[in-house]
Chains A and B, each alone.
Chain A
Amino acid sequence: AQSVAQPEDQVNVAEGNPLTVKCTYSVSGNPYLFWYVQYPNRGLQFLLKYITGDNLVKGSYGFEAEFNKSQTSFHLKKPSALVSDSALYFCAVRGGSYIPTFGRGTSLIVHP
């Protein structure tokens, strides 16, 4: 069975500082990995994905994520956080079944 772990319920960071939201996964075969963002009263929006190729993936709004196969991780990063980045972030994995599994979400709070 595939699974996703987001070990932090909440991440706090000051505006202008770098941010990291952690994600580890377990899946059979090659993983398809995704990050989504949810703003209040909205549905989830796609940020970025890793399918194959370069381990560093760039996505929307200046976010990037690094795929690490040996550590089975796919951490979300941004060099300089904005207050407007404050939201709920979900990591997801798809394996051979093509059915995605989502993490429980991490609330990112960026302080002015």
Chain B
Amino acid sequence: EAQVTQNPRYLITVTGKKLTVTCSQNMNHEYMSWYRQDPGLGLRQIYYSMNVEVTDKGDVPEGYKVSRKEKRNFPLILESPSPNQTSLYFCASSSNLRGSSTEAFFGQGTRLTVV
């Protein structure tokens, strides 16, 4: 089954304690992306990756890091989480081959609370 898997689904942590949210896809997609969803603000892109070892900032990258060492994995790293990073996070993947028309596939989300 084609899917994007995020872990964990729920996480409560304390300010300043480094954490990683994992994302893995099994569709051999080139493009992967992280979003945060906050009430009234819709989906905001944090970082994206066009392919292995190629990453770029989205609209709200401050306080986040990513890496793309393998095609299937795209972890989101919060080196020093702060309460304003409390949010619902989604990972997504899609094909970006020229001529491709695939839609984005989303993970189930990670609800992060930073206290």
Judge whether A42 and B104 touch: CB under 8 Å.
Answer: no
One of B40, B48, B101, B106 near A44 (C-beta < 8 A): B106
User: What 0/1 pattern do residues 73 to 112 of A give for CB contact below 8 A with B?
Assistant: 0000000000000000010100000111011110000000
CB closest chain-A residue, reference B92: A44
Chain B residues, Cβ within 8 Å of A41: 109
A29 at the interface (CB under 8 A from B): no
Judge whether A43 and B107 touch: CB under 8 Å.
Answer: yes
Provide the bound-state CA to CA distance between A34 and B41, in Å.
Answer: 19
CB closest chain-B residue, reference A92: B104
Judge whether A105 and B106 touch: CB under 8 Å.
Answer: no
Provide the bound-state CA to CA distance between A43 and B93, in Å.
Answer: 12
B43 at the interface (CB under 8 A from A): yes
One of B41, B104, B108 near A46 (C-beta < 8 A): B104
Interface size range of chain A in the complex: 20 to 34
Interface size range of chain B in the complex: 20 to 34
Provide the bound-state CA to CA distance between A100 and B43, in Å.
Answer: 11
CB closest chain-A residue, reference B4: A43
CB closest chain-B residue, reference A34: B103
Cβ of A102 to closest chain B Cβ, rounded Å: 5
A51 at the interface (CB under 8 A from B): yes
30 contacts between A and B (CB under 8 A): A34-B103, A36-B103, A36-B104, A36-B106, A41-B109, A42-B109, A43-B90, A43-B107, A43-B109, A44-B90, A44-B106, A45-B106, A46-B103, A46-B104, A49-B101, A51-B101, A98-B96, A99-B31, A99-B33, A99-B48, A99-B96, A100-B94, A100-B104, A102-B35, A102-B43, A103-B42, A104-B40, A104-B41, A104-B43, A105-B42
Sorted nearest first, the 9 A-B pairs with minimum C-beta distance are A104-B42, A43-B106, A98-B96, A46-B103, A44-B106, A51-B101, A102-B43, A43-B108, A105-B42
Binding site for A on B (CB under 8 A): 4, 31, 33, 35, 40-43, 48, 50, 90, 92, 94, 96, 100-101, 103-109
